[in-house]
Amino acid sequence: MSVLATLLALAVALCLSIAPGHAENEPIVAYAFAKASPLHVSDNPALSGGRNENFEFGTAYEVTEQKPEYVKFRRTDGSTGYVRPAHVSVVGFARWLTTTGGFGTAERARIRFWESSTKLGELLSGSKPLASQFDYQEFFDDAPNFPVALPIMESDTIDLLSGTRQVRIASVLIPISKETVEAFEKAKGGANKPLDLHFLLDVSGSTREFLEAAMLGLAKAVARNETLRKKLNGAYVTTFAASLKGKSVLMGNVPLPSLERASWHGSGADQPTEGDREPLLDGLMTLASGVKPSDATMPVLLVLSGADVDLAGEVAKLGRPVSIENLPLKLPSDTAAIFAQVTPEPGDDLRNASRRLGLEKSSRYLEFSDSLGTELAAELVKLGEAQKGEVLRPEAFTGVTKAAYAKQMIPFLPRVLTRDTGLPARPGYAANADWYTVRLWLPIDELIWKETTR
């Protein structure tokens, strides 16, 4: 090869080595961790054009240039790209909190996270123990069987007991998958869960006109309240005590406007009952058979009856005697109930039924009044509002653990679980991301964690 050809070959090689997208020899100025995936990546500092690109959580990408407008990073294959600074977390050197063998033991303490290092420090020092409780806590039944490495953004040492004891704390990136968010929202049910009304109507002769007046008052009150009207999803009706032979009938879905116009008493409703209490238990069993579990709505039982109802006895559908406390209704856990006495006669059976019915939520009881329909509407409004601040059970969120484990991520929940609380907010650029990260603080428990620079 001639000298000229050799020089040309060297020049081409040099140009290729410094061409855009190939920067193996550029010095490393920092390290970047992706805050979500995929992210928009460009081939130029102007961040024009480009495409969405998948990133690995916890991978420290080498940064070769860092400007207020962009971050130039090097992929694992040596090629380079440009991203917005807000889309990555940049650190001077890469460190991780890596789990030890103790992480996989079910007996260990659950990991707690704080949004603020100040709050965490105040808790550890004991200066403000009540005001500095954790914000999120790990949640699982079966311990994880996989390792975890969380990128460290910042760390500190807190001196306790006049410096005789030291506790290490760290701010780390924690991933949240879109499947975890979906499972959380499904378990939470949303802050504006519509109500499905399941009416159980005493249509015995003693409630004639009284029942119709109460239903008319309720329908008119709903019609006047637009917020409540929008909150109601559907109405389902079961009747009981129409005659001596027919104890209860599931009528099914009834359009809400029809509730105002319906006549609930048939021709047999005036038959004498020989002093027997009305078959409430049979009616409840029939009603329950028509309640279909749904994550989208909250069922509300509306029992409109006279005062004299049975609280124990033989239930034909069960073929055995049973009391109201152990009636096997098998209703959804979020079912609410309102018992309203539509007749003026004295008696405590219906009130006792409301107290003794075995629902997870407590039942409400309304005494007879001329404005009973309006009072029923007010109770429905309260139920709708109560959903927002309702404290939920962690056991309902097992789907969150399952979704997080599927991605080998740590499942965690807010300390206070209500329909208003949520997981850390997803940033706008990660609206459609497969996962995004949140930065939280935690004390470094050496039984679970070790600091590494792998």
Which tens digits make up the pLDDT trace of 7-50? 444 444 444 444 445 556 789 999 999 999 999 999 999 999 99
| CATH code at 195-368 | 3.40.50.410
HSE-up of residue 178 (Cα within 13 Å, Cβ side)? 10
Helix crossing, 210-224 with 372-389: angle to 10°? 50
Query: Does residue 311 contact residue 324 with C-beta atoms inside 8 Å?
Result: yes
pLDDT of residue 23: 53
Q: At what angle do helices 349-356 and 280-289 cross, to 10 degrees?
A: 40
| pLDDT of the chain, 454 residues: tens digit per residue | 454 454 444 444 444 444 445 556 789 999 999 999 999 999 999 999 999 999 999 999 999 999 999 999 999 999 999 999 999 999 999 999 999 999 999 899 999 999 999 999 999 888 888 888 999 999 998 999 999 999 999 999 988 877 778 899 999 999 999 999 999 988 886 556 889 999 999 988 888 889 999 999 999 999 899 888 888 988 999 998 887 666 788 888 888 777 776 677 665 545 545 556 888 899 999 999 889 887 778 899 999 999 888 898 888 888 888 899 888 988 888 889 999 999 998 889 999 999 888 787 778 999 999 999 999 999 999 887 776 667 788 888 999 999 999 999 999 999 988 877 889 999 999 999 999 999 999 999 999 999 999 6
Using DSSP bridges, classify how beta strands 298-305 and 336-341 pair: parallel, antiparallel or unpaired. Answer: parallel
pLDDT score of 339: 95
pLDDT at position 20 is: 47
Range list for CATH 2.30.30.40 in the chain? 21-91
Q: Per residue in 228-266, is it b (16+ CB within 10 Å) or e — as a string?
A: beebbbebbbbbbbbbeeebbbeeeeeeeeebbebebbe
CA atoms within 13 A on the CB side of 411: 25
- What pLDDT, on a 0 to 100 scale, did the predictor assign at position 301? 94
Residues 6+ apart with CB under 8 A from 197: 232, 234, 235, 236, 300, 302, 380
CATH 3.40.50.410 residue ranges for the chain = 195-368
pTM of the model: 0.66
Which pLDDT score, from 0 to 100, does residue 7 have?
A: 44
292: its two tokens:
């279909």
In degrees and rounded to multiples of 5, residue 103 shows phi and psi of -65, -30
pLDDT of residue 389: 66
By CB neighbour count within 10 A (0-12 exposed, 13-18 middle, 19+ buried), where does 57 fall? buried
CATH superfamily of 21-91: SH3 Domains (2.30.30.40)
For residue 149, list its beta bridge partners.
98
pLDDT, residue 132, reads: 86
Q: Which two tokens stand for residue 206?
A: 């003693």
Q: What is the pLDDT of residue 266?
A: 62
